[in-house]
A and B are shown apart, each in its own frame.
Chain A
Amino acid sequence: MTRWYEDIEPGDRFDLGQHTFNEREIIEFSLRYDNQYFHTDPELAKHSHFQGIIASGWHTVCVGQRKLVDSLFAEEERLRARGQEPGVSGPSPGINEMSFKTPVRPGDTVSYVLIVSNKRVSNSIPGWGLLFNRMEATNQRGEAVYCAEFVGFSKLRDFRPSFKQRLAMWAAKFPLLRTLFKK
């Protein structure tokens, strides 16, 4: 996945690995960010319709992000080992849609898969492309945990900036000039 924009095609599928959630980490994350009784207290959680403690959805998504980043680095290593220069992944501008399907309970193992659904060159940032990816998280019973549409930046390998773009990129090194070009 840390491939160049040009080497990624719609339909490409990446297995990001899996994670088993234990009760301690579910409670620890939730106490910090999502302090609701069915995420933090195994006894009280029995009264909820979940009938037991479940992970915060945000937690399951954050672990998915970790799996994604780990996979990017692993791919980078593989490419370097083959003597190839890896591409560059940028930050994400956002998530179009995220649906939580099945709760994650202590002991559940979640597998994460990323499927490239589309790509295009960025209109706003020269030299970068946008990848539209579908993330699917599934538990050990094959039930969907969540699915999401991600957007991510990926650097172009074969980018030749126009004279105007080269001038803007050079000017960006100097704060005063940068403000001129932003207008």
Chain B
Amino acid sequence: MSNPVTKNFAHYEDLRVGQQIDLGATKLTREMIVSFATRFDPFPFHLNERAANASLLGGLSASGWQTGAIALRMLLENFPEKLASAGGLGFKNLRWKRPVMVNDTIGGTVTIVALRRTKSNRQWGIATLDFDIRNQKGHTVMVMVLDNLVDVRDPSAPLEETAT
């Protein structure tokens, strides 16, 4: 059961509801936006100004998937310790509230809003993470609620909510 890689990582028992992680700041340059969009989301409004100005977005802006990918990276980089994650289960209510335009700087917070053990597998708990991604003006650009499996240090512990 013990995993030598994650032995010293933060486990389910180390997390608490209400814990908030500040994501720092990432500036999205034109080059970053176009290179991501070329590979994964080549809509003209993510690739060139002319098409972008004529679109609903009103200017060249990042793929929403890039905003999410960078949010994920910022979470992993800014988590106080490495997390004994066992993979993501999925997410709900992802909303791209505003476009992220060229040279915008994104940051924001991730808050642990719920922690629960799984009945089907005592080895894991589920951490519910609330993403609030903002631009340099403080406007929310993206939100989502992600469920992630986290290793439990002591799987024999009774299945009850951890103290918060």
Q: Which residues of A pack against B, CB within 8 Å?
A: 32-38, 44, 47-50, 54, 57-58, 61-63, 65-66, 69-70, 89-100, 103, 125, 128, 146, 153
Contact = CB atoms under 8 A, between A and B. Distances in A.
B72 A50 contact: no
Contacts of A57: 87-88, 90
Contacts of B39: 62, 66
Interface stretch (B16-24, B92-100, B127-135, B156-164): B92-100
B70 interface: yes
B65 A128 contact: no
For chain B, the bracket of interface size reads 35 or more
B113 interface: no
A51 B70 CA distance: 27
A32 B40 contact: no
Interface in B1-31: 3-6
Interface pairs A-B: 4 shortest CB-CB: A99-B90, A94-B95, A33-B69, A95-B94
B43 A94 contact: no
Interface in B34-93: 39-43, 45, 55-57, 63-65, 68-70, 72-73, 76, 85-93
Nearest to A128: B56
Nearest to A36: B85
B96 A100 contact: no
Given A62-B65, A62-B69, A69-B42, A100 B76 contact: no
A41 to B, nearest CB: 9
A91 B42 contact: no
B95 A65 contact: no
A98 B93 contact: no
A98 B91 contact: yes
11 contacts: A32-B73, A47-B4, A47-B5, A54-B87, A58-B65, A58-B72, A65-B41, A66-B42, A91-B43, A91-B96, A93-B95
A97 B45 contact: no
B43 A96 contact: no
A50 B3 contact: no
Contacts of A98: 90-92, 94
Given A33-B72, A95-B144, 18 more contacts: A34-B69, A34-B73, A35-B73, A36-B76, A47-B6, A48-B3, A48-B86, A49-B123, A58-B65, A58-B72, A62-B39, A66-B41, A90-B55, A95-B91, A96-B93, A97-B92, A98-B94, A146-B90
A30 B118 CA distance: 27
